[in-house]
A and B are shown apart, each in its own frame.
Chain A
Amino acid sequence: MKILIVDDDTTNRMVLSAYLKKDGNSVVAAQNGLEAIDVFQAEDPDLILMDVMMPEMDGYDATIKIKSMITDKFIPIIFLTAMTDEKALSRCVEVGGDDFLTKPYNRVILKAKIDALERVSQLYNTVYEQKRELESHQINEAKEHEVARKVFDSILNPGCLSSDNIQLHLSPMSLFNGDVVLAAAKPTGGLHILFGDFTGHGLAASLGALPLSDVFYSMTAKGYSISDIVREVNRKLKLQLPTGMFLAACLVEIDTINMVLKYWNGAIPGAFLHKGDSIVQLKSKNLPLGILGDSGFSDKVDIIEIHNNDRVVLSTDGIFEAENSEGKMFGADRFSDCLNDNLEEETDLFQHILNALDEFTQEQEQTDDVTLGVITCDIDYINQIVSQKGTFKKFVPTHWKFDLHFFYDAIKSIDPVPLINQIMSEIQGHQVQQDKLSMILTELFCNSLDHGLLGLDSSVKSTPEGFMQFYADKESRLDELESGSIFISVTNEPHENGGELTIVFEDSGKGFDVSNIKEPNASIDENSPLKFSGRGISLIKNYCQSVTYNDIGNRIECVYSWSNNET
Chain B
Amino acid sequence: MSIDLDVLNELKEIMGDDFEELITIFISDGQTQIESLKLSIQAANLEDIKRIAHTLKGSSANLGLNDLSDSCKVLEYTLKEGSLENADKLLENIITHYNAAKKTLDENI
Say whether A82 contacts B57, CB under 8 Å: yes
Of the residues B29, B54, B69, contact of A10 by C-beta under 8 Å: B29
Q: A11-B25, A11-B26, A104-B61 are in contact. List 20 more A-B contacts (CB 8 A).
A: A10-B29, A11-B22, A11-B29, A11-B59, A11-B63, A12-B62, A14-B18, A14-B21, A15-B11, A15-B62, A18-B15, A18-B18, A53-B51, A53-B54, A82-B54, A82-B57, A82-B58, A103-B61, A104-B7, A104-B64
- In the assembled complex, the Cα of A53 lies from the Cα of B80 at a distance in Å of 15
Within B1-38, the residues touching A (CB, 8 Å) are 7, 10-11, 14-15, 18, 21-22, 25-26, 29
Of the residues A18, A82, A103, contact of B14 by C-beta under 8 Å: A18
Q: Which 5 A-B pairs have the closest CB atoms?
A: A104-B61, A103-B58, A82-B58, A18-B15, A11-B59
Residues in A with CB closer than 8 Å to B57 are 82, 103
Q: Would you call the interface of chain A mostly helix, strand, loop, or mixed?
A: helix
Task: Pick from A22, A53, A82, A107 the residue with the most CB of B within 10 Å.
Answer: A82
Say whether A8 contacts B14, CB under 8 Å: no
Residues in A with CB closer than 8 Å to B58 are 9, 12, 82, 103-104
Which residues of A are at the interface with B, using a C-beta cutoff of 8 A? 8-12, 14-15, 18-19, 22, 53, 82, 103-105, 107
Q: Is B40 part of the binding interface, using a Cβ–Cβ cutoff of 8 Å?
A: no
Q: Would you call the interface of chain B mostly helix, strand, loop, or mixed?
A: helix
How many Å from the CB of B17 to the closest CB on chain A? Answer: 11
- In the assembled complex, the Cα of A82 lies from the Cα of B60 at a distance in Å of 11
- In the assembled complex, the Cα of A109 lies from the Cα of B87 at a distance in Å of 35
10 A-B pairs with CB atoms under 8 Å apart are A9-B29, A9-B58, A10-B25, A11-B25, A11-B62, A12-B59, A15-B22, A53-B55, A82-B61, A103-B62
Within B42-86, the residues touching A (CB, 8 Å) are 51, 54-55, 57-59, 61-64, 69
Task: Pick from A22, A53, A103, A107 the residue with the most CB of B within 10 Å.
Answer: A103
User: A8 with B62: in contact, given A18-B15, A18-B18, A104-B7 (CB under 8 Å)?
Assistant: no
Say whether A8 contacts B55, CB under 8 Å: yes
Residues in B with CB closer than 8 Å to A22 are 14
Of the residues A9, A19, A107, contact of B55 by C-beta under 8 Å: A9
- In the assembled complex, the Cα of A372 lies from the Cα of B30 at a distance in Å of 84
How many Å from the CB of B5 to the closest CB on chain A? Answer: 14
Residues in A with CB closer than 8 Å to B26 are 11
Residues in A with CB closer than 8 Å to B69 are 104
- In the assembled complex, the Cα of A22 lies from the Cα of B14 at a distance in Å of 7
- In the assembled complex, the Cα of A19 lies from the Cα of B69 at a distance in Å of 20
How many Å from the CB of B60 to the closest CB on chain A? Answer: 9
Of the residues A9, A12, A18, contact of B11 by C-beta under 8 Å: A18
How many Å from the CB of A57 to the closest CB on chain B? Answer: 14
- In the assembled complex, the Cα of A299 lies from the Cα of B25 at a distance in Å of 99
